Amino acid sequence: NLADLSLDMGEPAAALGYFSQAERSFALVRGGQISSLRCWRGQAHALCRLARPEQASTKLSAALSLAR
């Protein structure tokens, strides 16, 4: 939730940090695919706002592969 709030407040760097932290936590604790997809989507969103489209594309490609 902090990651989404950071995006809404125009703080993409903070959002990226929160999404990355959540990704690591979910991988260690829950390992759920839905959680990973949400984190990767959020990271891609934040990366786009930080003018890092190549990295955003990589995250989205990973999410798409997992979803398929």
Give the per-residue pLDDT at 33.
Answer: 78
| pLDDT for the residue 31 | 58
Give residue 30's pLDDT.
59
The closest alpha carbon to 19, from 49, 53, 51, 44, belongs to 44
Question: Residue 29 has what pLDDT?
Answer: 65
Do 48 and 56 form a contact (C-beta atoms < 8 A)?
yes
Average confidence (pLDDT) per 10 residues, the chain, 68 residues:
95 96 76 82 96 96 89
Residue 61: the pLDDT is: 94
Residue found by looking up tokens 């949400």 in the block: 38
